[in-house]
Amino acid sequence: MRIIAIVNHKGGVGKTTTTLNLGKALSLQGKKVLLIDLDPQANLSQSVAVDESEKNIYHALCEDINLPIIEIGNGLSICPADLGLSGAEAKLQSEQVMGYFKLKNSLPTTDTYDFILIDCPPSLGILTINALLAANEIIIVTEPQFLAVKGLQTILELIEKLKTTLTPHLRLKGILFTLYDRTVVSKSIIEQLQTQYGQLVFDSIIRQNVKLAEASALRKDIFTYQADSTGAQDYAQLAKEIL
């Protein structure tokens, strides 16, 4: 079972869009996929219209119930969140190191899914740490912009720290560029990171595509909304690269 955390402490870089559409693309390839919404803003849950579920990820983390899971498509399920998840942070923190492993301990232990994708909040707090420790692969999502790329170092340092203290098996799968606008500046930033990080930069790049924003506003994944858009092509390509 591949468990992938989709992270960046910066908001608006395409984490949620990537979780949903990569998950859908993998399910279209015949894989069984579970999405986990770990962001108290619950954008992922909202974008698939399951933000009013009675039980959600909060209850799994804080009340030790089984992960509440809702099927949203063929081979595609979600464990939703709502604003109440913000209350989990203090609770988890009060449990010290035990609180770091709550998500890991609530995930299915058998290979019920081929992929579990975890959509992280825009912070490197205890929820993101739970995601990193539960995952066996990490995808850092970033825009090809100067300041966004500078922030990568902070995440890489956190990953190194967790690796040496808590989980040696943690693996950075790659850096994914999203919201690519094809400008000279973006191009040169991508080239620079390819030189610096080599294989760690995904060949697949998600271009800016207004259809992706429209789809999420309409609570649809891009393949349902517009299968021939560049957004759909880019996420299908990414799914292939990951497989």
- Residue 208 as a binder of ligand ADP (CB under 6 A): the answer is yes
Q: Which of 11, 30, 87, 108 binds ligand ADP (CB under 6 A)?
A: 11
Shortest spacing between CB 222 and Mg ion, in angstroms: 16
- The verdict on 179 binding ligand ADP (CB under 6 A) reads yes
Which residue, 20 or 167, is less far from ligand ADP as judged by CB?
20
CA distance 239 to 74: 16
Closest approach, Cβ 9 to Mg ion, in A, equals 11
| Whole-Å CA distances, 11 to 3, 78, 176 | 22, 21, 15
Report the C-alpha gap between 207 and 10 in whole angstroms. Answer: 18
Which of the choices ligand ADP, Mg ion, none does residue 14 contact, using the CB cut-off of 5 to 8 A by kind?
ligand ADP
Q: Closest Cα partner for 49 from 207, 208, 224?
A: 224
Pattern 2-21, binding to Mg ion, x per CB under 5 A? Answer: -------------xx-----
Q: Residue 75: what residue type?
A: G
Please state, in angstroms and rounded to a whole number, the distance separating the CA atoms of residues 237 and 229: 12
- Which range, of 13-21, 28-36, 65-73, 98-106, touches ligand ADP by CB under 6 A? 13-21
- For residue 140, the minimal CB distance to ligand ADP (Å) is 11
Beta carbon nearer to ligand ADP, 100 or 235: 235
Alpha-carbon distances, residue 97 vs 34, 92, 127, 162 (angstroms): 26, 9, 13, 12
Q: Segment contacting ligand ADP (CB under 6 A): 9-17, 24-32, 150-158, 219-227? A: 9-17
Rank residues 5 and 167 by Cβ distance to ligand ADP and give the closer one.
5
Q: What angle do CA 43, 138, 238 make, to 5 degrees?
A: 75
Query: Which residue in this structure is represented by tokens 């956190």?
Result: 158
Contact positions vs Mg ion (CB under 5 A):
15-16, 43
